[in-house]
Chain A
Amino acid sequence: MRVAIDQLEFEYGPGRFRICIPDLQIEAGARVAFVGPSGSGKTTLLRLLAGIVTPQSGTVTVGEVPVNELADAGRRAFRIRHIGFVFQDFRLVEHLDVRENILLPYRLNVALPVFDSIESQVKQQAERLDLADKLDSPVDELSQGEQQRVAICRALLPRPELLLADEPTGNLDPKNKDRILDQLFQQAESAEATLLMVTHDHALLDRFDRVIDFAEFQKPEAAHE
């Protein structure tokens, strides 16, 4: 799924954080890393692409859809159907076990009906990410690496065409970092998804097709994120 940004301007409020992207084109299936100093707008861009926030001006097009022109419900439905989001802090729900955390988007959204084979897909996805024996475990009993794999599993289960990952390895030790990244790339490839990942780890950049430095998008008045 291709991504196109045209004349985008966004700010959280007058005098607060501001990001301007005149033009950005990302081809479908690309592996792109977003780098740049903290507060440069990397996470905000992921949120703009996911339709979680909307710009004050400009256009954000994902696939053929101008996401920012959709109403709230439309943006949410688009996000659910087409976009997977992996958060830096995992965003797992404590009172649910691994299985229910993976299934959570299906429980919450009627746009993702729980079909008969969903359970077997959860198992397959969990096996791919070495979580098969953890499906019934409470998430707070998992290691950080395992928790991030659960978050990835949850993001990939609906087979998104665009996978957004916000520093998915930021909280992990080097061993887990490589493992998670391998699995993320594998899963994105098998799903033929476009992968956009925010990272501060320059050692990882060789693995991406393209690296976008957000320093070029910063305006002089930009504040911190």
Chain B
Amino acid sequence: MNSLWLAWLYLRQRRVAAGIMVAGVALSLYLPLAAHWAADAFDKALGARAAATPMIVGARGSRFDLVLHGLYFRARSEGTVAYSEFAALRDAGHGRVIPLHVRFTAGGQPVVGTSLDYFEFRKLQIARGESMALLGDCVLGANAAHNLNLGPGGNLKTDRKNLFDLAGDYPLQLNVTGVLAATGTADDEGVFVDVKTAWVIAGLGHGHDESNATNSPSAKLVKTHLEITPENMSTFHFHGDTTALPLTAIFVEPTDAKETAMVLGRYQNNGQLQALKPPVVVDEMMGMVMRVRQFLDANYALVAGATGLLLALIVALSRRLRAREMETLFLLGCSRGTQFALQTAELLIIFTAAIVLALAAAWATVGWARDYLNTLAG
């Protein structure tokens, strides 16, 4: 105890130097700790959401892209799935089938065009207000409501994709009917609308006064409504073949293994579409993350080695600087063993403080990162 006490007095007197050593050691411990914990948290977050999503159907292309699009509403530039495919899957009776259309944002939050089945599929609860019922209604995820400072009764406009495209999609005002309870997932970030509303946002459907349309020499000159109200709702309509309207993905929840196999078989030789099991794709993705982690671990080992060498140098230099002090201790009857114990106690205090600091910092970082990793939206 005396060694620890004397070591503490020494370090307290040289608190700046001791603080720098603690910070240096803590940093070299923090980096691998935080990276490992964050990777584990990422693995868990991604794995849990993937496990709750048995199957996703979408346009052929990057499998990772399609899965991340379905799980985290990340924008996807590749092709679409026709609504008729959704209808065919639904009618085939493979299980629950849910449409997904994510192309737009509102206030920076992803606009998720889907059906009410999605809420049941993800076990989402309305915390305030009520579910969307009409064209133009939306339900906000908990974080989206917080970020946009909106609640039931409020409204928001969708973001324009290209400000300079005069003929492109115009912002549509959405009416907030409810806010979802927080889930700690990507659903917290979403602005949920019916898939038909998503099509209206995309400019595939619109509403306008009939007289205006009749008199106009060009469809582009028709003044369309930028807000869906009870008064103008009946004027909204879709042109052309509605079964060809696009979805960006389709969730399928097969009733059993046989239905799963049938859905997979359905798209096995399809040149346009693919059916994926998100848990399998996520496992593959995490395998890549783990390989990166191994590379980082090797780097961290080098950093730790360099830090260890630096510490050894500091200790050696410190022994030279403190030679007179050590001689004084010897003259006062201090054994070599006690001198060693004193210096060991100093290192023990420094390492203990550094470990506590590194653990606290890594815990705080991963706490923050876990929220981010659970959403991965944007």
Contacts and interface: CB of A to CB of B under 8 A. Distances in A.
B333 A76 contact: yes
A95 B14 contact: yes
Given A92-B328, A104-B332, 8 more contacts: A85-B331, A85-B332, A91-B332, A96-B13, A105-B332, A108-B334, A111-B333, A154-B332
A108 B328 contact: no
A202 to B, nearest CB: 28
Contacts of B5: 107
A108 B338 contact: yes
16 contacts: A76-B333, A77-B333, A79-B333, A85-B331, A91-B331, A91-B332, A93-B325, A96-B13, A104-B332, A105-B333, A107-B2, A108-B333, A108-B334, A109-B332, A111-B333, A114-B2
B5 to A, nearest CB: 7
Contact of B10 (A76, A79, A95): A95
A11 interface: no
Q: What 6 pairs between A and B have smallest CB-CB spacing?
A: A95-B13, A80-B333, A108-B334, A107-B2, A91-B328, A109-B333
B336 to A, nearest CB: 9
A96 B5 CA distance: 11
Contacts of A111: 333
Contacts of B12: 95
B334 A109 contact: yes
B235 interface: no
A150 B319 CA distance: 25
B339 to A, nearest CB: 9
B9 interface: yes
Contact of B335 (A52, A76, A93, A114): A76
Nearest to B338: A108
Interface string A68-106: 000001001101100001010001111110001000110
A6 B43 CA distance: 81
Interface residues of B, number: 17
A100 B12 CA distance: 14
Interface in A149-175: 154
B87 interface: no
Interface of B: 2, 5-6, 9-10, 12-14, 325, 328-329, 331-335, 338
Looking at chain B's contact residues, the main secondary structure is: helix
B331 A108 contact: no
A107 B331 contact: no
Contact of B6 (A77, A91, A107): A107
Max count, chain A CB within 10 A of own CB: residue among B5, B6, B331, B333: B333
A104 B331 CA distance: 11
Contacts of B14: 95
A108 B13 CA distance: 19
Contacts of B338: 108-109
Interface in A27-71: 52
Given A91-B328, A107-B2, A108-B2, A96 B9 contact: yes
Contacts of B6: 96, 100, 107-108
Contacts of A76: 333, 335
Nearest to A50: B331
Given A93-B325, A95-B14, A108 B332 contact: yes
A114 B9 CA distance: 17
A105 B333 CA distance: 7
Nearest to A114: B2
A133 B19 CA distance: 31
A104 B338 CA distance: 12
Contacts of A91: 328, 331-332
Contact of A93 (B2, B328, B333): B328
A82 to B, nearest CB: 11
A108 B9 contact: no
Nearest to B10: A95
Contacts of B13: 94-96
B332 A73 contact: no
Contacts of B328: 91-93
A167 to B, nearest CB: 15
Contacts of A85: 331-332
A87 B329 CA distance: 13
Contacts of B10: 95
Max count, chain B CB within 10 A of own CB: residue among A52, A87, A105, A107: A107
Nearest to A79: B333
Nearest to A78: B333
Max count, chain A CB within 10 A of own CB: residue among B5, B9, B14, B328: B328
Contacts of B332: 85, 91, 104-105, 108-109, 154
Nearest to B324: A91
Contacts of B333: 76-77, 79-80, 105, 108-109, 111
